[in-house]
Amino acid sequence: MNGVLIIDKPAGFTSHDVVARVRRILQQRAVGHLGTLDPMATGVLPLVLGNMTRLAQFYLSSDKSYEGVIRFGFATDTYDAEGEPAGPATEPSLTLEHVRELATKFTGTIEQMPPPFSAKKVGGVPAYKLARKKKDVALNPVQVEIKKFEILAMDDANTCARFCARVASGTYMRSVAHEMGQLAGCGAHLQSLRRTAVADFELEDAHSLEELEQSAGDLQNSKSAGEGKRVEAIADLCVHPRQLLPSIPAVTATEEMLSRIRHGRPVNLPELSRTREVKVFSGQRDLIAICTRVAGTLFHPRIVLL
């Protein structure tokens, strides 16, 4: 079973938990994800199934979009609502205008300190493993890009700010919340976070784990449903292959092209002489290869999905 399946990750699950559950539901080992979400966070978690795991390399630097809430008044050791308070609570004296002014300092390309409870490596060890053992976590600031960060509203008590953001890969919204609290002088942490998009995948493309389980279970319980029907039903939940990597043009292969690609040989595509890469399909749904132009109109298979 090959495809890209968008899951609406529930709170309390790690990204690995979701992958493990989908493996059990689909009875398939080859399942991976395109970008980790913290356990507290919910929302868009793209999964790649079967041969489509080879597409992960094209999504390593994908933008992400979020909605969430920052709680002012105290910081936590994890920079989010799951951590322990890092100091006494204070009564913040903030206004919507003040918080919006603070937010302007977190747009564009900035230096950001990753949270101590993160997957960043310290001497080859994930920082969160050291932090859990109460060991010093010596992380270095990294350069990240925040393309949009808008404070939408404050609650009646002026302690919680609702926001939306679009960021480059590697950006921690937990760190944004923590550092805003430092600037405000009252501490802050990320109270909630929902990812609304990864690359071109959005919430409207997403399915719950329960929906996936229901679809797979209905077919397993049906005496008339064979493996072909099961694969077809799961494929209907996946993103249509023609919608993947929309910036790369697509061609439909002839039998001769299919034969050459199967053997790793280049193909001639004169109508695509000005593009660098091309998606090659067999029929409407079967993505069989991503080819890269090597000279003139000659394209060599970069990855083969057959």
Active site residues: 38
Structure tokens at 207: 């399915």
User: Which one-letter amino acid corresponds to residue 219?
Assistant: L
CA distances from 250 to 2, 27, 103, 276 (A): 18, 31, 41, 12
Q: What is the spatial distance between Cα 248 and Cα 276, in angstroms, rounded to a whole number?
A: 8
Number of H helices, E strands in the chain: 7, 16
Q: Is 91 helix (H, G, I), strand (E, B) or coil?
A: coil
Q: Compute the 3-state secondary structure of the chain and give helix, strand, coil in percent, each to the nearest 5.
A: 30, 35, 35
Question: 169 CB contacts (<8 Å, ≥6 apart)?
Answer: 35, 60, 61, 62, 63, 64
Contact indicator for 68, 62 with CB cutoff of 8 Å: no
Structure tokens at 33: 């994800």
Give the closest residue to 67 by CA, choosing from 153, 181, 155.
153
Q: What angle do CA 150, 166, 202 make, to 5 degrees?
A: 120
Contact indicator for 265, 292 with CB cutoff of 8 Å: no
Contact indicator for 191, 76 with CB cutoff of 8 Å: no
